[in-house]
Structure 1
Amino acid sequence: MSEGRVVSPEEVKEEDRKIRRLQWLVRFALAYIAQANITLEECQRTVAGVKRYAMELFPGKEETFDLIYLPRFRRVIAEKFRLD
């Protein structure tokens, strides 16, 4: 949403819907990475796919994704593969 303009209730609803969809996908991907018998490479591909989808939902917000979600993925992957 751009600053300096009035945002309609429909736009707010759509933004909320996209946020909830992304949050669900992130939770699902984190659980999949933690629980599935997959390789480090497959984990990295999963994270890349989630990030691609996030960029489709929120173009230009790559830095926000990296700040909010990437640390979670790194932590789960590090725990899974006992990385430091």
Structure 2
Amino acid sequence: MDPTELQEEQYRIDRVRRVADVTLYLLDRTPLSRSDSLDVIEHARREILRLCPGKEEVFDLVLRPRFLRAVNERALREWGLKDSVN
């Protein structure tokens, strides 16, 4: 890989990390309905796949479950059930 390709790859990796971090923050800290949360996840999916075309399976196996876990954990906290589940 030449230095330009390496730099572009590093940019994409950093951008994916930022998109994932912002998505997790929004899902955990903002008052969203479940439908709105799923919209946030879909927006993140589109952005990440734009940066990394052909990685749908990786998104579905790694990031989507992480995002859904954040949505579910926030719901449990809001319902006061978080401590009773663990």
Provide the TM-score with structure 2 as the length reference: 0.82
More helix by share: 2
Is contact 2:45-2:59 (8 Å) kept? Answer: yes
CA distance in 2, matches of 1:16, 1:53: 16
Aligned pair partner of 1:34 in 12, 28, 33 = 28
Q: Percent identity?
A: 29
Structure 1 stretches of 4+ with a deviation exceeding 4 A read none
Question: Mind listing any 5+ residue stretches in structure 1 that lack a counterpart?
Answer: 1-6
> How much is the aligned-residue C-alpha RMSD, in angstroms?
1.4
Amino acid across the alignment from 2:54: G
| 3-state SS, counterpart of residue 69 of structure 1 | helix
Provide the TM-score with structure 1 as the length reference: 0.84
Amino acid across the alignment from 1:15: E
Is contact 2:23-2:40 (8 Å) kept? Answer: yes
Q: Is 1:20 matched up with 2:37?
A: no
Corresponding residue number in structure 2 for 1:10 = 4
CA distance in 2, matches of 1:19, 1:74: 22
Question: Mind listing any 5+ residue stretches in structure 2 that lack a counterpart?
Answer: 77-84
Aligned pair partner of 2:74 in 66, 77, 80 = 80
Aligned pair partner of 1:71 in 65, 70, 76 = 65
Report the more deviating stretch, 26-35 or 42-51. 26-35
